[in-house]
Structure formats: structure tokens, C-alpha cells
Chains A and B, each alone.
Chain A
Amino acid sequence: MNNTLDSLLLNGIQLAYLAAASLFIVGLKQLGSPATARRGNVLAAVGMLVAIAATLLDRGIIDYTLIAVGILIGSAVGVVMAQKVEMTAMPQMVGLLNGLGGGASTLVAIAEFWRLTGTGQALPLGSVLTIILSVFIGGITLTGSLVAFAKLQELLSGVPIIFPLQRFVSLGLIGLFLVGSVLLIAEPNDPTIFLVLVAISLILGVLFAIPIGGADMPVAISLLNSFSGLAASAAGFVLFNNMLIISGALVGASGIILTQIMCKAMNRSLPNVLFSAFSKAKEKAAG
């Protein structure tokens, strides 16, 4: 009796996820056209509600008090932020929210790493790989978005910030990350290596965003939005959760397309938007 109830619940959750994913797809579609955009946003929000409600029925969840605290705090902050923000400050608002989402994905991966190492057994290769990927994308999204926010909010100078050998530093850090990843795969339960990987990802996010000028920032935020989708997807691979994988892939892919559309509208190419500060610096040095 209990078993049938369990499998009913399990299937019910998966079906609710299917409904939520469908609502996201229709919602995204409708957001792209002026006549239906508002309805599309509402449909996507309903999809999110369905996904959250279904997840709360998961049998693996045993403690609801702290969950309630987290949701209440998050909702209150979200409502206040959404009401207080000026219409002119919307791009940086999206940037900030995006950073928080990326941060959440990273924390999920870190928490899962902690849980798995806590069991005392060696982490399976699949888990190590997906956790590394998740931390990498999520970390870049978090700090990249926060820098984008700070620049548009004029907490940081809006002009491109570059320093000598910046590209080599970035490439060096990526190389270091790869080396660290290999070390972690060899020694999967080492928290020090893992934390170094987290730190490198966070630094790379900053290095990604600081050379981009204020006027180009909306494009960068759109790209980071795509990243935050991929980060959620990666977290889905860590937890083997289809809802996360599907929605993350949707945002990741549609975000890339939107980024391209925005570049085209400015008559620019994406590499030009992201790296123009470097070529300008070179011109200056040459001239």
C-alpha cells in the first residue's frame, strides 16, 4: 500500500515537472511578442509555482521549517527589490537577480559536494565532473553579474577596466582550473582543492566582466543570464533532477539567441562586445 502511494507520488512529481517545463516553454514563446508578453510572464511564474509545489512533496525532504524561513526571506527581499527599483535601473536589477540565481546553483553544488564527502566514501566520477562544471559556470555567473550590476549602478567605474597581461592572467587561471579539476578527479574528497576551484571560478567571473564598458553591459548581462541557465542545468546533473536540466537548458539556449539578437541590434559581434577593450588598448599602445 505504502509502495503504491510512493510511486504515485513520484510519478505525480515528474508529471508536475513536465507541466511546469511546458509552461516555461509557452511562457518564453509568448514573452517574445508584444501582444502576449505579459501573459507569457504569468504563465512562466505559474510554471515556477507548480515546480516548487511539486518539489515540496518529495519524500526526501524531511525538514520544512528552515525551508519556510528561506522562502519567506527570499520572497520578502524579492518583492521589496522589485517595487523599489527605478524603471531606468532595470538592466542592473536583472544583473543582480541573475547573480543571485547563479550563486544559488553554485551553493547547491557545494552543498552536494559536502554531503557526498561527508559519507566517507569516494565520490563517483560522474558526480565530481558535474560538480566541477556546476561550480565553474555558477561561480562565473555570480561574480560576473555582481560586477555588471556594480558598473551599471555606478558603484564601479563604467569604463572598461583592464590591466596589463589581463588576458594571460585569465588564461592562466583557466589552465589552473583545469589542473585543479584533474587533481580533484584523482583525489575526489579533498576539500582544499575543491575550494580553490570555487575561488578561481569567482575570480574568473570578475575578470570576465570588468573589461566590458557600461553601454555594452546589457549584452553581457544577457550572456550571463544564459550562463545562469547552464549553471542551473549543471546543478540538475549533480542532483539528477530533470526539472533543473530542462529549464536550465531552455534559459541557456534562448539566452544565447537573445544575446545574438541584441548584438545584431547594435550592429556588433559578440566577441567585439566582450573583448573590444583589449583591442582598443592595443591601438592606444601602438598609436
Chain B
Amino acid sequence: MADSLIIGLVVFVLASFVGFEVINKVPPTLHTPLMSGSNAISGIAVVGALLVAGSGNGTVTTVLGVVAIALATVNVVGGFLVTDRMLQMFKKKEARS
């Protein structure tokens, strides 16, 4: 129990460093698409929702889990599609000019 908390903490801190380092010098036009893309990634909560909803642990847990699946899926699907639409627009703009 304590072990898995510590392992989780190690993973969390190292992944945070990766997150800090992976972003640098982003041109202003990409601010919103980058925000939108990383927002779609945070829809990873869907994984937690799947585990909770599918485990067959009583009505309340299952219902909360299914609602969480729906919300997180909107976040994921909408997020990636919206990001692609934004980036598509930049491409067209560049081609025209």
C-alpha cells in the first residue's frame, strides 16, 4: 500500500520533469492549439472511469463511472477534433498567403 504510493510518487515527479522540458519556445499562434491538445490528453481520466464503471461494484459506483466515461470521452474526442480543426486552419492560411 505505502509501496505503491511511493512508486506512484516517483512516476509522478519524473513525468512532471518531462512535462516541464517538453514545452519550450511555442509561437503565439500555437498557444491555443497546444492548450487544446494537452487538454484532450487530460481526458485520460477516461481510463480511470472505465476501470471504475466496469468493475461491477454496486449501482452508485457504476452510474458515477459511466457518467465519468461519457464526460471524459467528450473531452477526448472533442479535444482532439477541435485541435485538428484549429491546426488545419493555420495550414490553409499559410497556403493562401
Contacting residues, chain B, for A115 (C-beta < 8 A): 52, 55, 57-58, 61
Q: Are B79 and A97 in contact (CB under 8 A)?
A: yes
Sample (29) of A-B pairs whose CB atoms are under 8 Å apart:
A21-B15, A44-B41, A48-B46, A51-B47, A56-B50, A70-B53, A70-B73, A71-B69, A75-B77, A97-B36, A97-B74, A100-B72, A104-B43, A114-B58, A115-B52, A115-B55, A115-B58, A115-B61, A126-B1, A126-B5, A225-B35, A225-B38, A225-B39, A229-B41, A235-B48, A236-B48, A247-B44, A252-B16, A253-B19
Q: How far is the CA of A105 from the CA of B51 in the complex (A)?
A: 12
User: What is the number of residues of chain A that contact chain B, defined by CB distance less than 8 Å?
Assistant: 103
Dominant secondary structure at the A interface: helix
Complex alpha-carbon distance, A235 and B47, angstroms: 10
Given A34-B30, A60-B55, A107-B67, A237 and B8 contact (CB-CB distance below 8 Å) = yes
In the complex, chain B residues whose CB is within 8 Å of the CB of A107: 49, 64-65, 67-68, 71
Taking a contact as CB atoms under 8 Å apart, the answer to whether A90 and B86 are in contact is yes
Assuming the A-B contacts A241-B51, A261-B26, are A101 and B20 also in contact, with contact meaning beta carbons closer than 8 angstroms in the complex?
no
Please tell me if the beta carbons of A251 and B73 are within 8 angstroms of each other in the complex.
no
The answer for the CA separation of A29 and B24 in the assembled complex, in Å, is 9
The answer to whether residues A45 and B51 also contact, given A81-B74, A242-B8, A246-B15 and a CB cut-off of 8 A, is: no
Chain B residue with minimal CB distance to A106?
B68
- Does A221 lie at the interface of the complex (its beta carbon under 8 Å from any beta carbon of B)? yes
Residues of A within 8 A of B27 (CB): 34
Return the contact of A74 from the options B1, B52, B70 (Cβ within 8 A): B70
Alpha-carbon distance between A42 and B87 when the two chains are bound, in angstroms? 11
- Taking a contact as CB atoms closer than 8 A, the residue among A56, A91, A245 that contacts B12 in the complex is A245
Contact A258 B44 (CB under 8 A): no
Contact A249 B16 (CB under 8 A): yes
In the assembled complex, which residues on chain A have CB atoms less than 8 Å from the CB atom of B49? 70, 104, 107-108
A182 within 8 A of B: no
> Residue A254 contacts which of B19, B53, B69 (CB distance < 8 angstroms)?
B19
Q: Which of A64, A104, A130, A254 contacts B54 (CB 8 A)?
A: A64
Task: Report the separation of the CA atoms of residues A228 and B44 in the bound assembly, to the nearest whole angstrom.
Answer: 10
Option from A31, A48, A62, A265 in Cβ contact (under 8 Å) with B56: A62
Please provide the chain A residues from 215 to 273 with a CB less than 8 Å away from any CB of chain B in the complex.
218, 221-222, 225, 228-229, 231-233, 235-258, 261-262, 265
Q: Chain B residues with Cβ under 8 A from A62's Cβ?
A: 54-56
In chain A, positions 22-44 with a C-beta closer than 8 Å to chain B are 24-25, 27-29, 31-34, 37-38, 40-42, 44
| B44 in contact with A67 (CB, 8 Å) | no
